[in-house]
């Protein structure tokens, strides 16, 4: 599929702009006409703009700087400054040595007469694909400042969700790593200290638990490198399998069917999708093009494929709620919000409210999962360490009883 940038007239005669994916330019034109628009210009995105779709994602620092840049640009434009002057001020306020030259290229392109959307597209993966789309919509309806402010708000909300998920997962992961470290420490250094003490014990006189712990310790010490190689090979094999689209799609579909976990994953993906789609629609991007762009925020392959099929049906003049429900892309609550938005012609605002509601649900579910996982990990660690200590103490007591009896 190729990405095309277009300008067109909608059913009311207003000029709209956006991006659309199609195999050929003629197919893109036909899709626009089927959706009720009259194409004015349809241009294939080439070079850096096309490479952006498959390029590496920007890191956290670059995302934050880009968010601040768009927020400041939106404020300056809404204050009435011309685009080139607002861009010059926003670029001067960026101190990052890697980002400022790229932004200076955007400013130079605008001063040469290029629209802001084209200048942003030319920077490839530096900006998300939503930035050129919202810029085009703002240029078409004369609300570029508002479009940039909306883009900054949406990017900040997406970053906040990423930070929330990462923060929620950090503590359980750290506890698990500590638990494994403590167990390995016991097996590699603590348990071997008692082996000389029990070496003279008659065969079969030590408790079964003590023999099991010592055998496990000896096995880990003798085969540590082999175990490490097996773990590394297993990790590499899993990573390679997940790199296959078919395997990843199957796993993503299975994850959605797992109780609790599936609901959490679906809601996390739905928040990003709803927030992005709502912002694009509110910004004036037509629904078919908005669906194509919002689809890129969905990482779950099963849901992503479903939204792609829905986007094709919407281009042909179909509705949104029914195909989403048939493909199990979103949950019942999300479908209810979208259905209400379609019936009241308030799809953009309803998607924004849906993102807020689901975001709150994700926070509650994550907090609940942490509240359960944290004590479970601590208790499991305590039980395993206590079992090792008890097995050693049982062996010592049994050895002393044997010595007294002799």
- What is the domain count for the chain? 2
Mean pLDDT taken over the chain: 81
For residue 348, which of 272, 285, 293 has the smallest C-alpha distance?
285
- The mean per-residue pLDDT over the stretch 243-258 comes to 83
**Within-domain flag for 262:** yes
Give dist(CA 118, CA 47) in Å, integer: 12
- What would the two tokens of residue 279 be? 């912002």
Strand duo 2-9 + 38-44: pairing: antiparallel
Per-residue pLDDT tens for 15-72?
A: 666 667 676 777 778 777 776 778 887 877 654 444 444 334 455 677 788 888 889 9
* Residue, of 278 and 33, whose pLDDT is higher: 278
**Whole-number pLDDT of residue 54:** 38
Q: Please check whether residue 59 lies inside any domain of the structure.
A: no
Which has more confidence, 396 or 368? 368
Locate 291 and state its tokens: 């669906």
Shared-domain flag, residues 184 and 308: yes
Whether residue 275 is predicted with pLDDT greater than 50 in this model: the reply is yes
Least confident of 55-59, 127-131, 351-355, 381-385: 55-59
pLDDT digits (tens, 9 = 90+) for 163-196: 888 887 888 888 888 888 888 888 888 888 877 7
Residue 345's domain is classified under what CATH number? 1.20.81.30
User: If you average pLDDT over residues 326-341, what whole number do you get?
Assistant: 89
Q: Same structural domain for residues 363 and 223?
A: yes
pLDDT at 52: 40
User: Is 109 inside a domain boundary?
Assistant: no
Residue 21 belongs to what domain range?
1-44
Task: Look at residue 278 and tell me if it is in a domain.
Answer: yes
> Confidence class of residue 350 from pLDDT cuts 50, 70 and 90?
very high
Lowest mean pLDDT among 9-13, 199-203, 278-282, 315-319: 199-203
Is there a domain that residue 147 lies in? Answer: no
- By C-alpha distance, which of 178, 180, 4, 149 is closest to 79? 149
Query: Residue 27's pLDDT is what?
Result: 76
Q: Does residue 324 sit within a domain?
A: yes
Q: Is the pLDDT of residue 203 over 70?
A: no
| Rounded Cα gap, residues 328 and 196, in angstroms | 62
| pLDDT score recorded for residue 202 | 63
Contacts (Cβ under 8 Å, ≥6 apart) of 325: 335
**233 in a domain, yes or no?**
yes
Higher pLDDT, 196 or 406: 196
- Give the pLDDT confidence of 105-143 residue by residue, as tens digits: 888 888 888 888 888 877 766 777 778 878 877 887 788
Confidence band (pLDDT; 50, 70, 90) for 353? very high
67 to each of 58, 116, 309, 374, 379, how far by Cα in Å? Answer: 12, 16, 31, 34, 42
**pLDDT for the residue 357:** 92
| CA neighbor of 77 nearest in space, from 150, 5, 155 | 150
What mean pLDDT comes out for the span 277-290? Answer: 84
Do 39 and 177 lie in a common domain? no
Residue 77 has pLDDT above 70, yes or no: yes
First-to-final CA distance of the chain: 85
Is 126 a domain residue?
no
pLDDT of residue 340: 92
Please identify, among 10, 29, 44, the residue that sits at the C-terminal boundary of a domain: 44
**Residue 57 confidence (pLDDT):** 43
């Amino acid at each position: 599929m190729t990405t095309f940038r277009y300008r067109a007239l909608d059913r009311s005669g207003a000029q709209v702009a956006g991006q659309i994916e199609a195999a050929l330019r003629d197919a893109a034109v036909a899709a626009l006409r089927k959706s009720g628009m009259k194409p004015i210009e349809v241009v294939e995105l080439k070079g850096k703009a096309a490479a952006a779709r498959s390029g590496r994602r920007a890191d956290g620092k670059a995302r934050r700087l880009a968010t601040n840049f768009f927020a400041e640009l939106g404020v300056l434009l809404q204050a009435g400054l011309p685009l080139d002057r607002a861009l010059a001020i926003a670029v001067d306020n960026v101190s990052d040595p890697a980002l400022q030259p790229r932004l200076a290229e955007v400013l130079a392109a605008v001063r040469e007469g290029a629209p802001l959307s084209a200048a942003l597209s030319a920077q490839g993966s530096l900006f998300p694909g939503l930035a050129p789309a919202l810029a085009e919509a703002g240029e078409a309806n004369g609300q570029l400042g508002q479009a940039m402010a909306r883009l900054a708000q949406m990017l900040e909300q997406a970053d906040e969700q990423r930070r929330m998920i990462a923060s929620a997962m950090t503590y359980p992961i750290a506890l698990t790593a500590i638990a494994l470290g403590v167990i390995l420490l016991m097996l590699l250094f603590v348990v071997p200290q008692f082996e000389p003490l029990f070496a003279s014990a008659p065969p079969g006189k030590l408790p079964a638990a003590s023999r099991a712990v010592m055998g496990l310790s000896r096995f880990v010490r003798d085969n540590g490198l082999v175990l490490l190689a097996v773990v590394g090979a297993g990790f590499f094999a899993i990573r390679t399998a997940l790199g296959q689209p078919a395997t990843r799609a199957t796993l993503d579909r299975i994850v959605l069917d797992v109780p609790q976990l599936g609901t959490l994953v679906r809601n996390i993906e739905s928040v990003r999708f709803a927030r992005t789609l709502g912002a694009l629609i509110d910004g004036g991007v037509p629904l078919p093009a908005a669906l194509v762009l919002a689809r890129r925020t969905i990482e779950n392959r099963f849901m992503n494929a479903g939204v792609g099929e829905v986007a094709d049906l919407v281009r042909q003049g179909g509705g949104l709620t029914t195909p989403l429900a048939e493909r199990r892309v979103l949950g019942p609550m999300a479908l209810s919000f979208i259905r209400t938005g379609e019936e009241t012609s308030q799809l953009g605002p309803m998607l924004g409210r849906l993102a807020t509601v689901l975001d709150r649900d994700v926070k509650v579910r994550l907090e609940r999962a942490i509240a359960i996982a944290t004590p479970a990990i601590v208790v499991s660690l305590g039980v395993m360490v206590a079992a090792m200590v008890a097995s050693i103490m049982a062996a010592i007591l049994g050895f002393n009883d044997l010595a007294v009896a002799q």
